[in-house]
Structures are given as C-alpha cells and as structure tokens.
A and B are shown apart, each in its own frame.
Chain A
Amino acid sequence: MGKPSEIYFMATCLADLFYPKVGIAGMRLIQREGIRVVFPQNQTCCGQPAYNSGYRAEALDVARSLMSCFPKDIPIVVPSGSCAGMIRHQWPELFHGQPDAQNALNVSKRTYELTQFLVDQVEIELDDLGPSITVAIHTSCSSRNEMKVASHIESLVSQMKNVTVVEQERKAECCGFGGSFAIKQAEISGAMVKDKTDAIGKTEASKLVSQDCGCLMNIGGALRKQKRTIEVQHIAEFLWDRVYETG
C-alpha cells in the first residue's frame, strides 16, 4: 500500500483519559511526514475491556459506535498493540454473523499499530536530537504475539543514535496487566509485575519505553510504588521528544 495521504487516528480510551500526550505525539509524528491526520471526535473505545471479560454484547455495541467513525477507506492508526489487535484480529469474531460483519472486516484490515504504520507504511527516517540515554524496551504481548510487530519498536529506537538499548531478563514475558486480570487476579498480577520491575531494575536503563499504555500504566505504577527512579514512556512521546521538541 505504501504511504497514504490521509489516515484516521484512534486515541484508545486509556490514552484519551490518562495519556493524551501520547496520542498528540503520535499524530504529530505522522503529520510531519506530510500525511493528513483525522481525529474523529466521536471515537471512544474499541470494546476490548468488555470483550475480554466475556461481555460480548456490550463490546459489540461500543465497537459498532467506534466503527462509524471510520467511513472513509483510509488506514486507521492506533498507538497501542492491544487495541489495534482487538480491531484487527478480534473484531471479525465479535461481529461474526452480524449484518455489518463485512464492514467490520473491512475496518479491521486497514487498522495498524502505530510503530507498524511508521515502519512499514511510512518507512519513516528519524534524526535523533535528544541527549544520551540508556533505555530498555518492553514489547507488549499483543504487539508481539497478536499483531506480530514487536520488532518495529526496536527498529524505531535503533534510529536514535544517542540512545543505548539494554535488554532486561525475560523480556518477552507478560508484565501481568491483562486488563481486568490485574483486578480479578490482583495477587498474581502483583507477583508478575514484581518480577518484571526487578528485571528492569537490574539493567542500566533510566527509562522504559513500550508501545502499549496498559503495560506502561502497570509497570510504571509498580516502579513508582517501589520508589524506583526508572521512568516509563510511550514510544510515540519518546520519539517525538527526541526528534522535535528538544531540537
């Protein structure tokens, strides 16, 4: 498909309320490449929270409302592996047998995770203007296993010449977020995020970057609770800060 002239940007409900700058950074990165970015103001959520809790009828209603925000046949870019994965891989099952199933399939096929879009479609080239820093990367499970785009965040970070990347032990293991899992199985989730933060703490990294706000909320919240100084940041904000603002 190559580089489109226009895209829809889907904020995700988590980033909308908690990390709005992530979305703005993602949109600016795309806009800077000469692509028109449309942010439909009627968007809310992809339906994933209810879907993963078993409440499919509720998920379907919300997903349908979101679907109506993307009428034009242009790519939909999502700054999250799990929300992109929900639309791309779970919507066909969610809408199965519904009158608008074909439309859902069509929308799912043009949905991209942000780093995937920047690398595969835009073939973006970035100049690093930021200070030297050592970071660790957390590739979210949905980016890795569902979307299969985990290498894209790595290749974007590798374009940053002043950034040293260190690898934490058991990098590919789930951080224990899992949406409602973190509430329903709080103790197990706590044990998982403890292992994750311990592994990150053993590296030289002063910052952890990831492509999913859910993981960052989990890992970042745990790091703060443990009074560790490692910061967490979404890849969109991390890149934007280095290629634009400090320049």
Chain B
Amino acid sequence: MKQGNTLSDRINNSLGKAQNRQNFRSAMSGLMEKRAAQFPDDEKLAKLRDRGREIRANSLRNLPYLLIELEKTLTENGIQVHWANNSFEANQIIVCLLQQNDAKSVVKGKSMVSEEIELNSFLEGHGISVLESDLGEFIIQLADETPSHIIMPAIHKTKKEIAELLHEHFPELPYTEDVDQLTQSARKILRNKFNQADAGISGVNFAVAETGTLCLVENEGNGGMSSTVPPLHIAITGIEKVVEKLADVPPLLNLLTKSATGQTITTYFNMISRPRQPGEKDGPEAVHLVLLDNGRSKIYGNSSLQEILHCIRCGSCINHCPVYVQLGGHAYGTVYPGPIGCALEPMRLGINKVGGLTSLCTLCGACEQVCPVQIPLPKLINRLRAESVLRRADYTSLIGAGSMRKPLESWGWRIWKWIYRNPAIYRVFSLIVTRTRELIPARMGRWARYRFNPKPARRTMHELAREAGFDNE
C-alpha cells in the first residue's frame, strides 16, 4: 500500500480533483481512439487476439519447463539468472550485485516489477542513488509520487505542472511549457547521467526460453541506454513473462504496442541476448536477470484464477475502464490500477489487504473486450468477490478469503434468498412492496444522492400477466 489512508478516502480525494479527472478523461479518450485506429478489421483483430491468447496459454501451461529452459539458455548466453521468491529476496539480490560491483549510482528503465518490490527506496536506503530514465517515471520521481498508470506513469500531470516541476528541480534550465523543449531539457539531464551511472536496471517484456533473449519494448531509447551504456545491467521481471520461442514474440509485440499506445510499433525494441563479447565496442560487461515470484506461483496453482498471469501489461483494460477514467490510478493504492489491478492485486497481496478493489468494477466488460490476450477480467473479479465473502476457506482459497464477509450483509442475502427462492413468499413480499409504494421515500440512501429513488409499480407484472390472460404453463 502506498498511503496509509483508506480506499474510500482515496476515492473521494481523486473524485475531488477536477483537473486530474479532466486529464485522465482526455488522455484515455485519445488512447482508445488510437487503439481503435490500429485495429480497423474486426476479423483480423479477433484472429490476432486468438493467437495472443494461445501463445500466453501455452507459456502458462508449460511454465515450469519454460523457466528451466530459460535459465539454461540465458546461462549459456552468459546472462546470470537469479530467483527471488518475494520483494525482500529480489531487493537483496539486486543490492548485493550492485555492492559487489561497487556501484553507487543506477539508471533505471521503466519497470512495474521494480515498483512492485519498491526497489528505489530500498536502494536509496543502502546509499545507492537511483535515477528513473523513462520520462514519465523521471517526472514522478521528481514529484515524489507513484505511477498513476502502468504505461504512462505521469499521465495525471498537465504540461504546466511538469514545466513547473522541472524548473523547480533544475532552475538553470529556462522555464518553458513547450513539449519539445521540455523533452529536450529532460534529455540533456538524463544523457549526462547515463554516462556516469555504474549500473542500469530495466524490466523485461518477453523472456524467450528458446533463445535466452530478453525483449524490452520502449519509445525513448532510455531502455536501450540503461541496458547498454553502464558496465552492469540487471533486468528484473515476473516469472510469468516467459514465452516458449522467438516466433511467439512478433504477434505479442504487435498486440502489445497497438493495444497499449495505439502504435504500430514502438520507437525501440531491444533484444538482449548476452553481455559484451571480446572485440565488441559496447554493451555491459555483465548482465543479470532476476526472476520474481512475489505471489505468482500461488496464483498459478489456482486453476480458476490462473488466466490473470496471461497479462502482457499493455494497460488497455485500464484505458477502457469507466471507473479508472473517473479515479485515475492513485485511488487504487496498489502498483497495478484499473481492471488488471482489481483482479491481480487481491490475488497477489491477499483479499484481507486489498480485497476492496474488487468493488471498483461495474462488471461492464469493456476491459475484456479489448484485452489482447482475452483475459476474462470481469469473471475473475466476480470470482474474487465470491472468495472474499467465502464462509469457510480451505487450502485452495486465496490469502484472506472470507475476510470481507460482514454479518449484516450476509444476513441480508440470506433473507433475500428466503424471499426469492420461494414463489409463495415472494408473492406476499411483492404485494407488500407494491401496496406500500407511497411510503418509500424518494430521497433515501446512498443511491439517492445522485438520483431519485424509483417508485414500485401499483401492481406487479405477475398480476398484470394474470389479468391479461397470459398462461402460467
């Protein structure tokens, strides 16, 4: 959890920020349009999504074998593989690697997994300076905030806010709100740092088991710089990011960039296969990969929830979520916001910790429609709701299963069941409701803050149907 306040505090806080909400609305509308423009042919898109789903399902089905294969091929290529069960282990591995190499300064490419383990603050606590080199991440690092979106971390900020932020931290640069000039300023600052950094840290989009290749998708060149300029490169990723073969990459890449930012292809696509070889003029002397579990294998063990691990982190579900567009990412209070967050985070962190996220969904299904690998997000979120109010948890249950069961609510549903499963009782109930319709106040309850309460009809459809002569059987 990022902040100590409650989910409802964060929601109210987010809903109160009119400017932020406008920023999200216009950004998400733009992203939806761009994505749609990339997929003009429904049939082709359906085929591509089928292919994407197939590849990811195959990766997951063979996950244990593919991970062993990946370790083997990477090691043969000279990339050292480290396994981390949790954030603590991952952070320890990384800090040890840095200390062994006497690295005091790190440049980072964008990595949500590194957000997951809160790497920056851990390294800084060990006297190692960390600089985010992705422009969006750089901005929120300056602002001391967390990402509000997994692809566009600073999407909640306006041009003006960014201009002011840069000017505040780098008063030597002239103040400007011109986007090109702002980018140039940031570029100058970052270029310098790349050359001085002792190590680079990046994420991974696809890890290819067949060839031992780490694929990195990016637009700014900072990923390539982080992974090639400093003498040491440490990549970190979740264990689910493995794919079987190189041929799996093009369809996934195609789906990823088009779904995420509506780009046919990103500006850069890095394929990292080994450290610098004798005679080569650039590249790091050593490359390491940290494979992080952090709750993933527990999810993997639950066949009804496993599909969440198909995710390729395009953020398309977030861009199309009608709840996210109202709130933005910070309200969720977790690393991953939006539909993917509502499903993944309670599985990863436990329902007792973040089970409330499952309520941030109308089950409208917009996310599932655009998911490039067809993850049934509403279905998974609905299953999590069932887990969260489970009466008796067993060994197959998630952490914190049943922790959100409240006596009043569960009694309410019991009474509901008692009425609705028994036609005779329901008949009496519906008679009472329709005959006392005038007693129901028009402005009661949370519903009525924004709408009038509906008034029950004078008579039920059961009565009208009988009267109109519709047969009972």
Interface residues of A (CB under 8 A from B): 9, 11, 13, 15-21, 23-24, 27, 36-45, 49-58, 61-62, 64-65, 93, 141-142, 144-146, 170, 172-174, 176-179, 181-195, 217-218, 220-222, 224-225
Interface residue B172 (Cβ < 8 Å from any Cβ of A): no
Interface residue B434 (Cβ < 8 Å from any Cβ of A): yes
Given A52-B363, A145-B364, 8 more pairs with CB closer than 8 A: A17-B457, A44-B421, A49-B416, A51-B382, A145-B366, A146-B365, A174-B366, A192-B362
- Select B15's contact among A40, A54, A187, A222, beta carbons within 8 Å: A187
| Interface-side segment among B117-125, B197-205, B221-229, B385-393 | B385-393
- Select A176's contact among B322, B387, B468, beta carbons within 8 Å: B322
B375-391 contact mask (Cβ, 8 Å, vs A): 1 or 0: 00001001001111101
Q: B326 to A54, Cβ gap below 8 A?
A: no
- Given the known interface contacts A41-B462, A224-B452, the answer about A17 and B365 at a Cβ–Cβ threshold of 8 Å is no
B contact residues around A217 at 8 Å (CB): 454
- Select B362's contact among A37, A181, A194, beta carbons within 8 Å: A181
Closest to B21 in A: A191
B contact residues around A221 at 8 Å (CB): 447, 450-454
Q: Which of B434-463 contact A (CB under 8 A)?
A: 434, 445-457, 459-463
Q: What 4 pairs across the A-B complex have the smallest Cβ distances?
A: A178-B362, A221-B451, A145-B365, A54-B385
- Given the known interface contacts A62-B417, A178-B361, the answer about A225 and B451 at a Cβ–Cβ threshold of 8 Å is yes
Q: In the complex, A37 Cα to B445 Cα: how many Å?
A: 38
Interface residue B183 (Cβ < 8 Å from any Cβ of A): no
Q: B461 to A222, Cβ gap below 8 A?
A: no
Q: B461 to A20, Cβ gap below 8 A?
A: yes
- Majority-rule SS of B interface residues: helix
B contact residues around A145 at 8 Å (CB): 364-366, 368-369
Closest to A178 in B: B362
**Shortest CB–CB separation between residue B23 and chain A, in angstroms?**
15
Q: B420 to A44, Cβ gap below 8 A?
A: yes
Closest to B424 in A: A42
B contact residues around A181 at 8 Å (CB): 359, 361-363
Q: B462 to A11, Cβ gap below 8 A?
A: yes
Q: A186 to B322, Cβ gap below 8 A?
A: no
Q: B451 to A224, Cβ gap below 8 A?
A: yes
Number of interface residues of B (CB under 8 A): 68
B contact residues around A45 at 8 Å (CB): 420
Q: In the complex, A153 Cα to B466 Cα: how many Å?
A: 28
Q: A188 to B327, Cβ gap below 8 A?
A: yes
Give 5 A-B contacts (CB < 8 Å), ordered by A residue: A11-B462, A20-B463, A145-B365, A174-B362, A221-B452
Q: B462 to A16, Cβ gap below 8 A?
A: yes
- Select B470's contact among A37, A50, A176, beta carbons within 8 Å: A37
A contact residues around B385 at 8 Å (CB): 52-54
Q: B464 to A20, Cβ gap below 8 A?
A: yes
A contact residues around B409 at 8 Å (CB): 53
- Given the known interface contacts A39-B465, A225-B450, the answer about A188 and B360 at a Cβ–Cβ threshold of 8 Å is yes
Q: In the complex, A11 Cα to B427 Cα: how many Å?
A: 14
Q: In the complex, A225 Cα to B448 Cα: how many Å?
A: 9
B contact residues around A142 at 8 Å (CB): 365
Q: In the complex, A145 Cα to B367 Cα: how many Å?
A: 10
Q: A178 to B363, Cβ gap below 8 A?
A: yes
- Given the known interface contacts A18-B456, A145-B368, the answer about A184 and B420 at a Cβ–Cβ threshold of 8 Å is no
**Shortest CB–CB separation between residue B2 and chain A, in angstroms?**
19
Interface residue B414 (Cβ < 8 Å from any Cβ of A): yes
B contact residues around A195 at 8 Å (CB): 326
Q: B465 to A65, Cβ gap below 8 A?
A: no
Q: B430 to A16, Cβ gap below 8 A?
A: yes
Q: A50 to B413, Cβ gap below 8 A?
A: yes
Q: B453 to A141, Cβ gap below 8 A?
A: no
Interface centre among B322, B391, B446 (most CB of A within 10 A): B322
Closest to B430 in A: A17
A contact residues around B449 at 8 Å (CB): 186-187, 190
Interface residue B471 (Cβ < 8 Å from any Cβ of A): yes
A contact residues around B471 at 8 Å (CB): 36-39
- Select B465's contact among A24, A44, A49, A192, beta carbons within 8 Å: A24
Q: In the complex, A144 Cα to B29 Cα: how many Å?
A: 19
Q: In the complex, A24 Cα to B388 Cα: how many Å?
A: 39
A contact residues around B360 at 8 Å (CB): 185, 188
Q: A41 to B423, Cβ gap below 8 A?
A: yes
A contact residues around B3 at 8 Å (CB): none
Interface residue B426 (Cβ < 8 Å from any Cβ of A): yes
